[in-house]
Chain A
Amino acid sequence: KAGVTQTPRYLIKTRGQQVTLSCSPISGHRSVSWYQQTPGQGLQFLFEYFSETQRNKGNFPGRFSGRQFSNSRSEMNVSTLELGDSALYLCASSFGNVQGVYEQYFGPGTRLTVT
């Protein structure tokens, strides 16, 4: 079974631009979560989507948004990029609704650099 895939793997943007990152979960997984990883703040939860609905959101400004499609693929968008948005963005998928199954499986991440 294929793992979680994220595209693109690397991205360089300038301040003020916007960016869209994509995540394809493991087949059968309906939950997709996004995390931001920086050296200073570590891993921080952004949001989770399940069946095309945002089910949970972390403490990030409204510039960070996302969506999920009917095939469970998810996109994350960051508008008006700031230097501090430079980070590794990780996507994780899980079944999301299977009792007793709680593991999240991570993709390889998208390295975003804002200049």
Chain B
Amino acid sequence: AQTVTQSQPEMSVQEAETVTLSCTYDTSENNYYLFWYKQPPSRQMILVIRQEAYKQQNATENRFSVNFQKAAKSFSLKISDSQLGDTAMYFCAFKEYSGAGSYQLTFGKGTKLSVIP
């Protein structure tokens, strides 16, 4: 089974500043997918960004971008121009092939991000 590690249980950032959330993973696969999900206090899990391992270019979605270092098995999320609505738990997830056409997500423990006015 794969493992996903988020080493920062909690972080805070001033509004309009930039923050980076860390994630490392362990796998012997070569082709895989990584995701960052956001879970605000409402508990709705929202997909923030995805990265295909075979792509060298880092994924970007508006203010969210990743730094994907395949050799280091690192997948960090950068949030630029932080907004109050970014306050949430952020989960790093690894898409794992389980056989018979099935995939499952393995999640890290999460990083609680607080954006301070």
Assess the B44–A108 pair: CB atoms within 8 A: yes
Cβ-closest chain A residue relative to B98: A56
User: Is A105 among interface residues, defined by CB-CB distance under 8 A?
Assistant: yes
Contact B43 A42 (CB under 8 A): no
Complex Cα spacing A97 to B100, Å: 11
A-B contact count (CB 8 A): 57
Query: B45 near A90 (CB under 8 angstroms)?
Result: yes
B45 x A58 contact (CB < 8 A): no
Number of interface residues of B (CB under 8 A): 25
Whether B103 pairs with A102 at a CB distance below 8 angstroms is yes
Secondary structure of the B side of the interface? strand
* B100 touches which of A55, A92, A108, A111 (Cβ 8 Å): A55
Instruction: Say whether, besides A43-B91, A90-B45, A108-B42, A103 and B50 are in contact (CB < 8 Å).
Output: yes
Are the CB atoms of A42 and B50 closer together than 8 Å? no
Q: Is A109 positioned at the interface, with any CB of B under 8 Å from its CB?
A: yes
Given A90-B45, A108-B42: A102 and B33 interface contact (C-beta under 8 Å)? yes
- Residues of chain A lying within 8 A (CB to CB) of residue B98: 48, 55-56
**A72 contacts the other chain (CB 8 A):** no
Contact B50 A102 (CB under 8 A): yes
Which of these, A48, A97, A105, contacts B104 with CB under 8 Å?
A48
Cα A102 to Cα B106 in complex, Å, equals: 13
In the bound complex, what is the Cα–Cα distance between A111 and B107 (angstroms)?
19
> What is the total number of residues of chain A having a CB less than 8 Å from a CB of chain B?
24
B78 beta carbon closer than 8 Å to chain A: no
Which B89-106 residues have C-beta < 8 A from chain A? 91, 95, 98-106
Which residues from chain A contact B99 at a C-beta distance below 8 Å? 56
Q: Which residues of A contact B101 (CB under 8 A)?
A: 50, 55, 96-97
Closest B residue, CB atoms, query A106: B45
CA distance A45 to B46 in the complex (A): 17
A-side residues, CB < 8 A to B, are: 33, 35, 42-43, 45, 48, 50, 55-56, 58, 88, 90, 92, 96-97, 102-109, 111
B positions within 8 Å CB-CB of A: 33, 35, 37, 42-47, 50, 91, 95, 98-110
